[in-house]
Amino acid sequence: MQLLAERIATWLGMEGLPRQAVVAGVVLVVALVVATVVLTIAGILTWAERRVAGRTQSRVGPNRVGPLGFLQWVADGIKLITKEDVIPAAADRTLFRLAPYPVIVGIFAAFASVPFGQKLIAADLNVGVLYLMAITSLVVVGVLMAGWASNNKWALLGGVRSAAQIVSYEVPSVLAALSVVLLAGTLSLQGIIGKQGGWPWEWYLFYNPFTFVAFFLFFTSAVAEGNRTPFDLPEAESELVAGYNVEYSGMRFAGFFLGEFANVYLLSAIATALFFGGWQIPGVTPDMQAASPVWQAVGVGLFALKAGTGAFVVLWLRWTMPRLRVDQLMGLCYRYLLPLSFAMLLGNAAYVWLVPQWAAWVVQGATTTVGLAVAGVFVRRVFYHIRHVGDDVSLDLARGESGTFDPQLQVRVYGAFRRRHAGDSAS
């Protein structure tokens, strides 16, 4: 494993100083940079989530602090830092204080091996995928600690639910990721991206029907592992108030909160690396990209765009899907996702073993066509609904305008839609 730190240390030369001290210092700096980037991403995602929620629910969302309310996350951060850190009298003080750290460490350490670009990776481990799966499982420990140490029945129930959920959904997500590892023949994330290409038909998503299904299994399980709606039972407000973090306030609460949002980006970034070709640019070979700083920047941008789209889908899901029941949650994992992911793994193994190269090209082309067609139909439907129902909310109260939103419009348009389609089927 070649550490970025070692490369920087060699590059700087560092005459006279003991080399190991330099490496240690550079490691510290790289860690700080990664942590800062992750915190910024998580912060921006909290703002994005509230804007997406606003648009989804036909309201405005935060729009006062900065342009489009963009600086809201900074304001929230300052507020949370200055708030009192309340520790309940009956809590287990030591564990209560320690609990946010495993969560933060688990998620932030995972970012160390996220390939943001061809050369923009803190540590390209040769066990990359496994490392991600292993280090994020530390989150469970923190969640259980928080739930138990709060000495509150809602917190304990939330913590126990969360642990059961993360441990269960880890299995299908690892198995789905394993499908890709099987095809690439490497656990290193850069190696997996290197085996793909820039064009959609070179992505593992469209490699064959098994990987196509495996992506959806991975994404579903990863969303469930992140305790996001529709799988947010650990923090179901209607049952548990707020789940394992109910007793937390101030910066310790922010630790859990930012961890959740960093995890949303993390799961999108892993999906991008495994299934969407990572930083590969269409029509540009990795060698060309390695030679030119401009292509490097484009690659980083492309990765951010893909992962950002993934994160947006996760936010979108939260405000669109209703929450599952506890028994449905476990049933979904063990009755459907787990057997399916095993089937996809075996399917991929058989595919590698049996299908000759010329047939693989045909399958790849067919999967790409079908996959892109499905995506196209879906996007078209979404835009159709947005156009016909309207989501333009402008409640500029300062100017005394009440905007164009009409609650009855949705009902009327849907009625018209139903009537038109009833006419279609009659004729």
Partner 1 sequence: MTATIFILLAALAVLGAVLAVLLPNAVHAAMALIVMLVATAGIYLLLSAPFVAVIQIAVYAGAIMVLFLFVIMLMNVELRIPLRRWTLVAGTVAGGLFLYQTVHLLRGVMDDQARSGADGFGSAHEVSSVLFAEYVVPFELVSVLLLVAIVAAVVLGKREAA
Binding stretches for partner 1 (CB under 8 A)? 1, 20, 24, 92, 94-95, 98, 125-127, 130-131, 133-135, 137-138, 140-141, 144-145, 147-148, 156, 159-160, 163-164, 167, 170, 187
Minimal distance in Å, beta carbon 130 to partner 1?
Answer: 5
Minimal distance in Å, beta carbon 20 to partner 1?
Answer: 4
Minimal distance in Å, beta carbon 170 to partner 1?
Answer: 8
In the bound state with partner 1, the residue whose beta carbon lies nearer, of 80 and 132, is: 132
Q: How many CB atoms lie within 10 A of CB 310?
A: 22
Minimal distance in Å, beta carbon 126 to partner 1?
Answer: 5
Calpha distance 350→308 (Å, rounded): 34
Minimal distance in Å, beta carbon 187 to partner 1?
Answer: 5
In the bound state with partner 1, the residue whose beta carbon lies nearer, of 95 and 349, is: 95
Read off the tokens for 166: 């993360």
Residue 87: closest CA among 252, 260, 242, 254: 252
Read off the tokens for 25: 């210092």
Minimal distance in Å, beta carbon 164 to partner 1?
Answer: 7
Calpha distance 13→6 (Å, rounded): 11
Q: What are phi and psi of 420, to 5 degrees?
A: -65, -40
In the bound state with partner 1, the residue whose beta carbon lies nearer, of 133 and 329, is: 133
The residues, any chain, with a CB within 8 Å of residue 239's CB and separated by 6 or more, are 233
In the bound state with partner 1, the residue whose beta carbon lies nearer, of 80 and 149, is: 149
Calpha distance 180→278 (Å, rounded): 13
Read off the tokens for 314: 């996760």
In the bound state with partner 1, the residue whose beta carbon lies nearer, of 126 and 404, is: 126
Read off the tokens for 209: 């029907």
Is 356 buried (19+), middle (13-18) or exposed (0-12) by CB count in 10 A?
A: exposed
In the bound state with partner 1, the residue whose beta carbon lies nearer, of 78 and 167, is: 167
Length of the chain: 427
